[in-house]
Amino acid sequence: MTLTIRGLTKTYPNGVQALKNLNLSIGSNMFGLLGPNGAGKSTLMRTIATLQSADAGEVWLDRLDVLKEKDAVRRILGYLPQEFGVYPKMTALDMLDHLAVMKGILNRGERKDAVEGLLQRVNLWEWRKKKLGSYSGGMKQRFGIAQALLGNPKLIIVDEPTAGLDPTERNRFLNLLSSIGSDVIVILSTHIVEDVSELCSQMAIISDGGVVLEGAPQVAIEQLRNRMWRKSLANSQELAELQNNSHVVSTHLVGGVTYARVYAESCPGEGFSPVDPDVEDVYFLTLSRHQRN
């Protein structure tokens, strides 16, 4: 199964052009969509999820016209938006059963098996009779992915799923996402680079409503091999001088010491040491090149 997006454009009434002739091809398995806040990620996700229209362009899920055959898309779609609301006084068991009916699972026995199986899969069985209003942020996210998995969807969209989660909940949630079958398209939209690095075999970086990089994370990393360097900085003045003279990709504070990561074809000077590139380097370097253009 392949999701194909061609020339997708969206401008809001306030004049903000969220998507600008965006083109993208997404196959089965985990696909990471990276970009800063305001890049157009959520607009793209809502459009694919049939929650809003586009001004121009096409979106196809194999032979299914996503922009025109919305009801057909919804029958095979699982969606976890960035802001996922629940009825706080309902239990997880009752809420998921209600959502299963809305999803079209009308046979009571089939629905019971689906609901109970998902609650066990997302590790919420012990709390199935607890009211959702008492759930932690991580538990609500796990409930959110449970409802997204109802009906064995072929296309799953999760928008900023780990934002605000503590490290333990984040790891649990990522492990859950990684367990989803390889014959399903899973789109992970986020600004957290590590999520994509750990989960996704393919990714795209979008900025200002368009795709600025698309491909396999490991291929993009290898293109930076032997071109990333690191140096500790004594003060902000040294950082400013370095930014004027070199291509600083990012800065990090480690143990109270500021380190700069610099892109260069060869060692940029005294005090630099080579470092292995990672997806974060790819992300920041791609965005900085785009902004310069």
Q: Supply φ then ψ for residue 50, to 5 degrees.
A: 65, 20
**pLDDT at res. 164:** 73
Q: Taking a C-beta distance cutoff of 8 angstroms, is the pair 285, 249 a contact?
A: yes
Q: Taking a C-beta distance cutoff of 8 angstroms, is the pair 80, 161 a contact?
A: yes
**pLDDT at res. 39:** 92
Rounded to an integer, what distance in angstroms lies between the CA atom of residue 86 and that of residue 89? Answer: 9
Q: Taking a C-beta distance cutoff of 8 angstroms, is the pair 64, 73 a contact?
A: yes
Residue in 104, 106, 141 with CA at minimum distance from that of residue 124:
141
Domain boundaries, the chain: 2-217, 226-275
Rounded to an integer, what distance in angstroms lies between the CA atom of residue 27 and that of residue 42? Answer: 19
**pLDDT at res. 166:** 82
**pLDDT at res. 86:** 76
**pLDDT at res. 181:** 66
Q: Which CATH architecture has domain 2-217?
A: 3-Layer(aba) Sandwich (3.40)
**pLDDT at res. 52:** 94
As a three-state string, the secondary structure of the chain is CEEEEEEEEEECCCCCEEEEEEEEEEECEEEEEECCCCCCHHHHHHHHCCCCCCCEEEEEECCEECCCCHHHHHHCEEEECCCCCCCCCCEHHHHHHHHHHHCCCCCHHHHHHHHHHHHHHCCCHHHCCCEHHHCCHHHHHHHHHHHHCCCCCCEEEEECCCCCCCHHHHHHHHHHHHCCCCCCEEEEEECCHHHHHHHCCEEEEEECCEEEEEECHHHHHHCCCCCEEEEEECCHHHHHHHHHHCEEEEEEEECCEEEEEEECCCCCCCCCEECCCCHHHHHHHHHHHHHHC
Run means of pLDDT, 10 residues per run, the chain, 293 residues: 96 95 93 92 94 96 95 92 83 94 90 94 92 89 89 91 80 82 86 86 95 95 96 89 92 90 94 95 94 77
